Structure 1
Amino acid sequence: MSQASQAKAMQDYFQSLLNDVDTSEVKSDPSETPMAIQPARMAIPEPELPVAEPTVVTQERTLQLNQLLSTVSNVVEAPEEPTVIVVPAEVESVQPESVWQNISPEKEFPALFFTVSGITFAVPLTDLGGIHQLQKVTPLFGKPEWFSGVMTHRDTQLNVVDSTRWFMPEQQNSEDYQYLVMLGESQWGIECHTLIGTETLRYEQIKWRDKPGKRPWLAGMVKEKRCALLHVQELLTLLQQGVNIDGQ
């Protein structure tokens, strides 16, 4: 791939990622606000309960309540009559939703940079499980197109992902992959063409995301290098579910 083609591919892909990150879901730089930046958590809504109108207790009302209590007491004492608890229809329990949470690195953290079909990606070294020279990959029947197959390494079967097909389903890889970048402590690895190297990033160099949007695997964008910083745990979740960037 020529340098001009690589540059255009990087620009187009970077722009598509930015289109998915609106300003409402991206944290500001520390230099733009006096408050410390921390990864945000999605608030869980509290159910709104109906507010009852105050009741004026009169002598007649007191008599009615005493009669009602007497009736309830008789029901409790009779074992053959089960007590039924009725929940008002307008009061519904709210189940907590799963909350997307961004990664929380230190103010400075090292990251590995690598390329896939001319696009640069970065992964924090704390989430890097290792790097292997790509060897023979055995395809498996009935798997998605982005699943290249399995590679044996020290008697361990590693799941190999065709990164071009996963990140850019509309494209096809035209060059041989050279390396397998392992994700965390899992047996999943993503293929890449070149390794750029490691570099220490500062927190303010990242355009962090506050919400998952359509790209939960995207932790943020490295501003100066114009590349995607991977959210490895979310990426693994999608791989284990058998879906790619488009949910396929």
Structure 2
Amino acid sequence: MADIERVVSSQKPAAHDDLHCLLIDVHGLKLAVPFDYVEGASEIRDLTLSIDSRQDWILGRYGDAYQQTVVVDTGVWVIPSTYNVDDAAYTDIVVLKGRSWALACNSIIESIYIPLSSLNINKDKTHRAWLYATCLEKRCAILDIQQLLDEFGVMIV
């Protein structure tokens, strides 16, 4: 848990021309989660998940009767063609804004600042609608968290 707290708290003042993100690893893919959408992080071993067998992209839920957080199998969602559930080795979750959803990840790598000028914006939302942009300099994909939240909401019904 100390590593997660160190990563999340190692922030510098944000410049207006940078995107502040939490860099995570999902099955070897580096994903950047914009900090504006991060509410917290936790180690999976610290959670008691209730199993949800209705959706293959949901690992489970935790919380109480008043606030349930759904933990998403991020690999199933973002790289379904190459992801093998048998190889999943999730250790952490990133809790998203609103605390209704969390992304499972293999590890939380670091807090990063990505220059807006280095972003290659995804202009074709028909494929990988969850992809906001890529950054070759940081070798990562930046998640469109609002798009993901919208998709989760539609699929959970």
The question of a shared fold, defined as TM-score above 0.5 by the shorter chain, is answered with yes
Q: Please, which moves more after superposition, 150-159 or 161-170?
A: 150-159
For the pair shown, which has the larger CA radius of gyration, 1 or 2? 1
Q: TM-score, normalised by structure 1?
A: 0.51
* Equivalence for 1:138: 50
Q: Would you say the 8 A contact 2:78–2:128 is kept in 1? A: no
State whether residues 114 and 138 of structure 2, in contact with CA within 8 Å, keep that contact through their aligned partners in structure 1: no
Query: Could you say which residue in structure 2 is the equivalent of 1:111?
Result: 21
- Residues 192 and 153 from structure 1, CA distance in 2 versus in 1: closer, same or farther, beyond 3 angstroms? farther
Give aligned-pair identity as a percent.
24
Q: Where does the alignment leave 5 or more consecutive residues of structure 2 unmatched?
A: 1-14
Q: Aligned partners of 1:153 and 1:121: how far apart in 2?
A: 29
Question: Does the alignment pair 1:201 with 2:111?
Answer: no
CA RMSD of aligned residues (A): 2.2
Structure with the bigger RCO (C-alpha within 8 Å, sep 6+) is 2
Q: Which residue of 2 aligns with 1:151?
A: 62
* Amino acid in structure 2 at the alignment position of 1:215: R
Matched, 1:124 2:65: no
Q: How many residues align?
A: 138
The aligned residue for residue 11 of structure 1 is none
CA pair 155-179 structure 1, distance change in 2 beyond 3 A: farther
Answer yes or no: is the 8 Å Cα contact 2:23–2:109 preserved in 1: yes
Q: Counterparts of 2:154 and 2:41 in 1: how far apart (Å)? A: 23
Query: In the TM superposition, what is the alpha-carbon distance from 1:211 to its structure 2 partner?
Result: 4.3
Distance, in Å, in 1 between the alignment partners of 2:144 and 2:88 is 26
CA drift at 1:213: 2.8
In structure 2, relative to structure 1, the CA distance for the partners of 1:240 and 1:221 (3 Å cut) is same
**Structure 1: 5+ residue stretches without partners:** 1-104, 244-248
